[in-house]
Structure 1
Amino acid sequence: MSIPRPFRKTSPRDHARKDWLDERRREARIVIADVAHHSDYLVRLACNVLATHGETFEEREDARILLVILDGKTPGRLPAPDRAGRS
């Protein structure tokens, strides 16, 4: 979120940015609410949006926790072992 600046009037561009961000948060919440019917990729994207731009601390923290769960669920995302077979 941007910090309000008392020396600067809000422009139509500021309102458009806020509206755009509100819409992305709404879409991310819809994906998270129906997580069973969306791909891990889309859920991960929604979590990143909410972890970065969530309105409350709880919302941001819940998104971060869900990202940790997704990382544990998808072992293919771990770093590849080196050529000798050691990780």
Structure 2
Amino acid sequence: MLKAINTKILLAILAVLTAIGGALTYQRHDAAKAAAAAAKAATILQQRQNEVEERKAEDEAFRRRVEADKKKHNSSAAHEGKTWQKYIP
């Protein structure tokens, strides 16, 4: 009788240990999955930041080019006031 109770207790302990082991394995797997997701998110964030910096640099270069073009094309605008005054229809 005592041997049967000891066997049942041992089986119960074994079942509890198996459940705890399964829970720990699941927790490790879940933690690894979360770490992988965090690493992927960090990579995506870094890529987006790089894209934003590149876009800023391109915009700044475009603005400089536009300002240079304005200065180049507006140089003749200083003489436009004189041309219409001399116009005779």
What is the TM-score normalised by the length of structure 1? 0.30
What is the TM-score normalised by the length of structure 2? 0.29
Which structure is higher in helix share?
A: 2
Structure exhibiting the larger radius of gyration computed from Cα positions: 2
